[in-house]
């Protein structure tokens, strides 16, 4: 019989999300507000942080807390994190990786950068995406093809993510939100939500409860948004291909950006175009979530 303390510890589905610092109530459950990054051990408000993930220190022997000891460990580069337990990492899983089915104590997003992963009866290949809500039974897991798999591993919180051995879904788990395997290459390109990126294309991978979510953004060649912009939301972005000059920073493949709410982001320019993986915690179709901003010196004042 479980003690009252153990029952409380198991009640991970009802942990409260951190309210977003732009005034949101946490319904999106992404917990992107107030994160630290690989280049800043303390949260810095209203300051974008761009860096090359290849330069981030790699942690050997990584495995999810609670996974059986016989599961071959992988490697992790921790990119952003929050005290509530949410984090974004780049993870390498070796060809020998296999893990049993079970459930996690926090929402998990996965985006494959290279390789192939078997996830239960589904497969995720390059640019494949999965969203696993807390408490949903999934697996077993296996890396296929004899080559390591590289993935973006996003633990959304608000509880620290742990593995629990289980053969069925946890009571009250958000099964309706489960996305077992999505091949982004099969999705159509659609319009973006803001006038600043009118000549770009967007593929939604998932929408959050508050209208934010996860998507691919293709910025077309010869793009120039001409002015800085104030971003009234939190954003994470990973460059998959091409380049974009953001101010004096050249954003290229494997580079990552964390942009806290109310950051002034510099002018974006690219001759050749680029492809980004994006996560945002607010509905960008609403007025005034992205504001064009021309500094005084833009007019020579």
Question: What pLDDT score does 209 carry?
Answer: 79
Extract the tokens encoding 179: 């996305």
Question: What pLDDT score does 10 carry?
Answer: 61
Q: What is the mean pLDDT of each run of 10 residues along the chain (301 residues)?
A: 44 87 91 96 96 97 95 97 96 96 96 97 97 95 96 95 93 94 96 79 92 95 92 97 97 98 95 97 90 63 41
196 close to 240: Cβ distance less than 8 angstroms: no
Domain coordinates of the chain in residue numbers? Answer: 57-185, 187-299
CATH superfamily of 57-185: Jelly Rolls (2.60.120.10)
64 close to 108: Cβ distance less than 8 angstroms: no
Q: Pick one of 1.10.3370.10, 2.60.120.10, 1.10.1670.10, 3.40.50.1820 as the CATH number of 187-299.
A: 2.60.120.10
64 close to 102: Cβ distance less than 8 angstroms: no
Integer Cα distance of 195 and 193 in angstroms? 7
Question: What pLDDT score does 74 carry?
Answer: 97
Question: What pLDDT score does 1 carry?
Answer: 36
Question: What pLDDT score does 296 carry?
Answer: 59
Question: What pLDDT score does 128 carry?
Answer: 98
Residue closest to 94 by CA, chosen among 76, 121, 73? 73
Domain 57-185 identical in fold to domain 187-299: yes
Question: What pLDDT score does 299 carry?
Answer: 42
């Amino acid at each position: 019989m479980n003690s009252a303390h153990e029952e409380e510890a198991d009640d991970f589905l009802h942990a409260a999300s951190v309210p977003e610092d732009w005034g949101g109530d946490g319904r999106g459950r992404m917990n992107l507000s107030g994160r630290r990054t690989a280049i800043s051990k303390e949260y810095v408000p209203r300051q974008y942080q761009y860096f090359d993930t290849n330069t981030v220190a790699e942690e050997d022997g990584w495995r999810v807390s609670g996974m059986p000891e016989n599961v071959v460990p992988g490697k992790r580069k921790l990119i952003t994190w929050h005290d509530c337990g949410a984090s974004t990492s780049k993870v390498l899983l070796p060809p020998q990786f296999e893990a049993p089915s079970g459930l996690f104590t926090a929402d998990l997003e996965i985006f494959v950068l290279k390789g192939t992963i078997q996830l239960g009866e589904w497969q995720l290949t390059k640019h494949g995406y999965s969203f696993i809500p807390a408490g949903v039974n999934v697996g077993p897991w296996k890396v296929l093809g004899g080559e390591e798999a590289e993935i973006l591993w996003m633990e959304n919180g608000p509880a620290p993510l742990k593995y629990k051995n289980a053969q069925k879904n946890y009571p009250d788990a958000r099964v309706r939100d489960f996305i077992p395997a999505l091949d982004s290459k099969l999705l159509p390109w659609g319009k973006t939500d803001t006038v600043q990126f009118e000549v770009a294309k967007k593929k939604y991978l998932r929408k959050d409860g508050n209208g934010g979510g996860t998507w691919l953004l293709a910025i077309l060649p010869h793009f120039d948004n001409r002015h800085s912009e104030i971003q009234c939301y939190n954003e994470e972005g990973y460059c998959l291909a091409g380049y974009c000059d953001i101010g004096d920073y050249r954003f290229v493949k494997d580079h990552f950006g964390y942009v806290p709410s109310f950051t002034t982001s510099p002018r974006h320019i690219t001759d050749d175009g680029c492809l980004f993986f994006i996560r945002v915690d607010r509905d960008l179709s609403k007025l005034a979530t992205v504001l064009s901003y021309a500094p005084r010196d833009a007019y020579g004042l």
